[in-house]
Structures are given as structure tokens and as C-alpha cells.
């Protein structure tokens, strides 16, 4: 089943649709239908279910304004085991807590 709509679009949007149709070799109607499918086929993201950044990204993806990206790789600190991290900390530390180093450094400047 289909429904026919008559919509008045601003010139800017109409030109964007026409440009996209020319680029893809599709009709303007097909471009509009595909954009609507992308917008309404993606379930909306609830701000309670994710961070504000994830919510904004989900809304942009749902609107077809950005494409989903591959997951970002974990940081190096997340790939190193706790044992190895302790070994590196001992190898590169001065033996004092950073707070102590800062206090001593400030005394020297005064």
C-alpha cells in the first residue's frame, strides 16, 4: 500500500534533492523515499539509555545526516594488563607520589 503526498519544499532543499538524484542516477521521488525510510526505520535513541554524545550521534544517523562509523580501537592503557602497567609504573617512577614531587618543586621556587 502506498500513499501520495504533495509537499511544498524550500528551494534549498529541493536543489539538494535534485543534486542527490543527479549524483545517484535516481529520481527525486526515490531520493525522498530513501531519506524518509532512513529517518523512520531507525528507532529513536532515548537520552536515558545512552550518553548525550551517543544520543546526538544516534539522532544524526537516524536523520541520515551522518553514517555510522566503525568502533574506535581501545586506548593503549586499556590493552595493557594490570600487572604490566604496575611494572611500567615502577620502571618510570621516581619513587615518590606526584603530589610530593609537586610540593617539593613549589618549595624550591619560593
pLDDT, position 109? 78
One domain for residues 87 and 44: no
Locate 75 and state its grid cell.
Answer: 586506548
Provide the pLDDT for residue 13.
84
Q: Please check whether residues 81 and 58 belong to one and the same domain.
A: no
Task: Look at residue 18 and tell me if it is in a domain.
Answer: yes
Q: State the DSSP code for 42.
A: S
Q: Is 19 among the domain residues?
A: yes
13-48 pLDDT tens trace: 888 889 989 999 999 888 888 888 777 765 555 556
- pTM score, two decimals? 0.39
Regarding whether 58 and 15 lie in a shared domain, the answer is: yes
**pLDDT tens sequence across 12-22:** 888 888 998 99
Is 3 inside any structural domain? Answer: no
d(CA 110, CA 107): 5
Domain range spanning residue 47?
A: 11-62
Band of pLDDT at residue 76, cut at 50, 70 and 90: low
Amino acid at each position: 500500500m502506498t500513499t501520495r503526498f504533495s509537499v511544498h519544499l524550500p528551494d534549498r532543499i529541493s536543489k539538494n534533492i535534485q543534486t542527490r538524484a543527479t549524483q545517484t542516477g535516481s529520481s527525486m521521488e526515490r531520493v525522498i523515499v530513501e531519506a524518509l525510510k532512513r529517518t523512520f526505520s531507525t528507532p529513536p535513541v532515548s537520552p536515558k539509555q545512552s550518553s548525550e554524545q551517543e544520543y546526538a550521534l544516534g539522532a544524526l544517523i537516524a536523520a541520515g545526516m551522518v553514517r555510522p562509523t566503525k568502533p574506535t580501537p581501545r586506548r593503549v592503557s586499556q590493552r595493557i594488563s594490570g600487572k604490566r602497567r604496575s611494572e611500567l609504573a615502577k620502571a618510570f617512577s621516581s619513587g615518590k607520589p606526584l603530589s610530593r614531587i609537586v610540593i617539593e618543586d613549589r618549595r624550591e621556587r619560593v
